[in-house]
Amino acid sequence: MRRILDRYILREVLLSWLAVTAVLMIILLTNQVAAVLERAADSQYPRSAVMTLIGLSTVQNLPIVVPVGLLLGVVLALGRLYHESEMTAAQACGVGLARVYLPITALALIVTGLLAWLTLDLAPRAAAHAYQLRNEALRSGQFAPVAPGQFRSFGSRGVVIYAQGAAADGTLERVFIRRVGEGGLEVALAARARHEISPDGSLHTFTLYDGARYEGVPGSSRFRIVRFAEQVIPVRLPELDPGRRRVEAVPTPILAASSALPDRAELHWRIALPVMAVMLTLLAVPLSRLRPRQGRYARVWVAVLIYFLYSNLASAGRAWIERGIVPEQFGLWWVHAALAAVGVAVLAAPTVSARLRYRG
């Protein structure tokens, strides 16, 4: 009988957790895909790099989504059991809170183990690979020629270039160039243009022929028109720094051996994410308990509020460690202790309330 109940509770929680996590990942990936596509359009990323970056972004965001998915999954699953009086019937048969904790704790421990591997090992490697791939895409984009019929942004002084066509020898035809100059906005129109790239790809030179340049401030009636037979416009791109050290991509053993505060803060944050999954799952069991005639979603907003405060306090603690405000030895364990105190209060609330009513 008890094994049947354990499997039933485990199935309900597992299905609810998977559904909530999938929905949260879709919402998060929608913003990530838009950001990756916008960056790819600006920097001329290859198509293969775009899909890889989206996949790596998914791996990096999973450690953030899994804890809140567990919390909401348990609250929704047990909330349905309480709302439909299934949990009341089980309690009438002698099933206590400890029995309910058993399958949920087993699921939490398995998910926490996977989350620890993901946070401490896989996510840093995914971040390192994403940074390397992004730098390679930027480097290859620097050498890409201007394609006819497409706007090309170079990110230097707001330079935007468009060519309506191209001749067989590579000469651009009917060229439009917009850039922000010292005196305002500059727009150049030319019948023809030649595009040259330096060997290192950092300097693009556009030689315009038979055109006009318009200079002025948008919204102002003061502007100047300069006609030219030939004009050279150099566009220098910002230098790439592929070797720059990003703390998100540093392997965990290197962070553990480092004494720098940013590295220690990142290490404590990686350790905190699996702990958050366990703490939120254990809190969700008493939090999902409903009173008679309460709706099954009555405690969802409380769970969201607790997660919001918990995650923001952990993020603030990470920043305080990095700035030296909180001693590094404390880590983020004080945040978990605060949530444990909230859990004890939620567990003790029904008993205290019943005793107060009895005394009254």
- 283-293 tens-digit pLDDT: 888 888 877 77
Neighbours of 268 (CB within 10 A): 22
* Confidence (pLDDT) at 272: 92
Report yes or no: 208 and 228 within 8 Å, Cβ to Cβ.
Answer: yes
* Confidence (pLDDT) at 247: 85
* Three-class HEC string of 306-350: HHHHHHHHHHHHHHHHHHCCCCHHHCCHHHHHHHHHHHHHHHHHH
* Confidence (pLDDT) at 47: 67
* Confidence (pLDDT) at 309: 92
- 180 sits in the region (left: phi over 0; alpha: psi -120 to 50; else beta) called beta
Q: Using alpha carbons only, what angle is made at residue 205 by residues 230 and 154, rounded to the nearest 5 degrees?
A: 125
DSSP 8-class letter at 222:
-
Report yes or no: 79 and 296 within 8 Å, Cβ to Cβ.
Answer: yes
Domain residue extents for the chain:
2-140+244-359, 156-236
Report yes or no: 54 and 36 within 8 Å, Cβ to Cβ.
Answer: yes
Q: In a 10 Å sphere around its CB, with 0-12 CB exposed, 13-18 middle and 19+ buried, how is residue 198 labelled?
A: middle
* Confidence (pLDDT) at 312: 92
* Confidence (pLDDT) at 270: 92
Q: In this structure, which long-range contacts are made by residues 92-99, counting pairs with CB atoms below 8 Å and at least 24 apart in sequence? A: 93/1, 95/2, 95/5, 97/285, 97/286, 99/2, 99/5, 99/6
**DSSP H or E run through 4:** helix 2-43
* Confidence (pLDDT) at 244: 47
For the chain, 360 residues long, give each residue's pLDDT as a single digit of tens: 567 777 888 888 899 999 998 898 888 888 777 777 766 665 566 666 777 877 888 888 888 888 999 999 989 888 888 777 777 777 677 677 677 788 888 888 999 999 999 999 998 988 888 887 777 766 666 556 677 777 777 755 578 888 888 887 778 888 888 887 766 788 888 888 888 877 776 677 888 888 888 888 877 777 888 888 888 888 777 665 544 457 888 889 998 888 888 889 999 999 999 999 999 988 888 888 877 777 778 888 888 899 999 999 999 999 999 888 888 888 899 999 988 888 888 777 666 665 666 665
* Confidence (pLDDT) at 140: 63
* Confidence (pLDDT) at 241: 53
The amino acid at residue 158 is G
Q: Which residues of 47-60 are buried (b: 16+ CB within 10 A; e: fewer)?
A: eebbebbbebbbbb
Name the 3-class secondary structure at 27: helix
Q: Hey, what are 64's tokens?
A: 């953030």
Report yes or no: 115 and 52 within 8 Å, Cβ to Cβ.
Answer: no
What torsion, rounded to 10 degrees, do the Cα atoms 241, 118, 283, 10 define? Answer: 150
Measured CA to CA, the distance from residue 104 to residue 75 in angstroms comes to 11
* Confidence (pLDDT) at 165: 85
Measured CA to CA, the distance from residue 65 to residue 25 in angstroms comes to 7
- Give the side-chain half-sphere CA count within 13 A for 343: 18
Measured CA to CA, the distance from residue 315 to residue 319 in angstroms comes to 6
Measured CA to CA, the distance from residue 99 to residue 96 in angstroms comes to 6
